[in-house]
């Protein structure tokens, strides 16, 4: 009698396992991939960063501010929190988290132009794509 109960228990267990494996193939979860960011750290001297440091007027009316801490570079768009940026060379900067990338080009007449792409991680904030020009130094 014990053998029948054990066999019935094994049969129920096997049937349950087979049913679960059959339904798991039907279920799928889509996970969005994060933006791939080249986090290769290139060094920029304080003297070289000095030409980029300051405030830039954006075409959408906001201000981009670039500053330097002890060993890190920072960007702040409008009233959003400042975030660490990495220099990629030739006036190109990206945020360490991939939410911001910009290119600043200095002209011969000491004016700057460029482009900014910013996707804030805060809920309710729209991505920013703007051109920039020097606002103050």
Assess if residue 130 is contained within a domain.
yes
Tally of domains within the chain: 1
Q: Is residue 6 part of a domain?
A: no
Which carries the bigger pLDDT value, residue 15 or residue 110?
A: 110
Between the CA atoms of 108, 63, 137 and 133, what dihedral angle is there, to the nearest 10 degrees? 10
What is the pTM assigned to this prediction?
0.63
pLDDT digits (tens, 9 = 90+) for 49-108: 888 999 998 888 889 999 998 889 999 999 888 999 999 998 999 998 888 999 998 888
Q: Is the pLDDT of residue 37 over 80?
A: no
Non-local (6+) Cβ contacts of 130 within 8 A are 58, 59, 60, 62, 115, 116, 118
Parent domain of 88: 46-136
Cα distance between the two ends of the chain: 91
**Would you state the pLDDT for residue 64?**
92
CB atoms under 10 Å from CB of 84, counted, come to 13
| Paired sense of beta strands 54-58 and 100-106, if any | unpaired
Within a domain: 40: no
CATH code of the domain containing 106: 2.40.128
Long-range contacts of 72-77 (CB under 8 A, 24+ apart): 73/44, 73/49, 75/100, 75/102, 77/116, 77/118, 77/120, 77/128
The pLDDT tens digits for 14-32 are: 555 555 555 445 555 555 4
What pLDDT shows up at residue 12?
52
The phi and psi torsions of 8 (rounded to 5 degrees) equal -65, -40
Domain assignment present for residue 107? The answer is yes
Give the pLDDT of residue 24.
Answer: 47
Query: Could you tell me how far CA 87 lies from the centroid of its own chain?
Result: 15
């Amino acid at each position: 009698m014990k053998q029948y109960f054990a066999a019935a228990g094994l049969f129920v267990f096997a049937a349950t396992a087979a049913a679960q494996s059959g339904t798991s193939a039907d279920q799928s979860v889509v996970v969005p991939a994060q933006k791939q960011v080249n986090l290769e750290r290139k060094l920029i001297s304080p003297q070289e960063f000095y030409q980029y440091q300051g405030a830039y007027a954006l075409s959408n009316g906001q201000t981009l501010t670039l500053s330097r801490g002890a060993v890190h570079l920072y960007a702040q768009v409008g009233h959003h929190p400042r975030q660490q940026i990495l220099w990629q060379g030739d006036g190109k900067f990206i945020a360490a988290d991939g939410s911001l990338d910009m290119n600043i080009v200095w002209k011969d007449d000491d004016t700057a132009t460029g482009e900014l792409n910013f996707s804030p991680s805060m809920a309710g904030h729209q991505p920013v794509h703007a051109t920039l020009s020097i606002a103050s130094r």
